[in-house]
Structure 1
Amino acid sequence: MNYDAKKLNEKAELLKVLVHPVRLCIVKGLLENGGCCNVTYMQNCLNAPQSTVSQHLQKLKAAGIIEGKRDGLMVNYKICNEKIKELLSVLFSD
């Protein structure tokens, strides 16, 4: 077996970000909604305070899983990592 420690570490870090139920729910929701939502929509779906949702969004952004695009006063988020889309499609296929 040929191990690339750097690549394995990168993949493990990506999975660590997704392991939290709220972050997993956010990304799953983005995938199901055509990939674009704002914080208010997520806050209502998760029944969580805006500050909590924002903290989780920051972690997802820092990991390169999502990106935000400003539209006036709102920021719409979408999944920007195709591998994450593939992973979630497999993970949530029933």
Structure 2
Amino acid sequence: MLDFTINQPNLNIVAEQLKVIAHPVRLQILQILMERGPQNVTSLYEGLGLPQSTLSQHLAKMKSARIVLGNRKGLEIYYEVLDSRIKQIVSLINEQV
């Protein structure tokens, strides 16, 4: 008999991460972070032309889903992509657009 049991907690985490990145602005933020390395809110804000509060909300959602990590350097927080699976997914998406 085949065993189709799955690790439900891990699937829930992955599904939540996929929901979080399923937004054009968040995909764009991830693409920038992957191409340019760690960035602070100011550089992302200037590059994307979004209101700073909107950008901060997107980063907070990705941080809470453990997709990005924020490292404080002085007064600034620099964000980088934390999850290697997300990097692979975003790379695959970028190949298609």
Corresponding position: 1:68 with 2:70: yes
- In the aligned structure 2, how far is the partner of 1:30 from the partner of 1:83? 15
CA radius of gyration, larger in: 2
- Rate the CA distance shift 1:8–1:68 in 2: closer, same or farther, 3 A: same
Corresponding residue SS for 2:95: coil
In structure 1, what is the equivalent of residue 26 of structure 2?
23
- Of residues 28, 46, 59, the one that matches 1:44 is 46
Unpaired runs of at least 5, structure 1: none
Counterpart residue identity of residue 11, structure 1: V
Aligned to 1:32: 35
Distance 1:82 1:9 in 2: 17
- Paired with 1:10 and 1:3, the residues of 2 have a C-alpha distance of 17
The Cα of 1:3 is off from its aligned counterpart by 4.8
> Can you give the 5+ residue segments of structure 2 that lack an aligned partner in the other structure?
none
Q: TM-score, normalised by structure 2?
A: 0.86
Q: How many residues align?
A: 93
CA distance in 2, matches of 1:58, 1:67: 10
**Residue-by-residue CA offset, 1:32-59 (whole Å, 9 max, x unaligned):** 11x2111011111111111111111000
Q: Percent identity?
A: 43
| Matches of 1:27 and 1:2, distance apart in 2 | 33
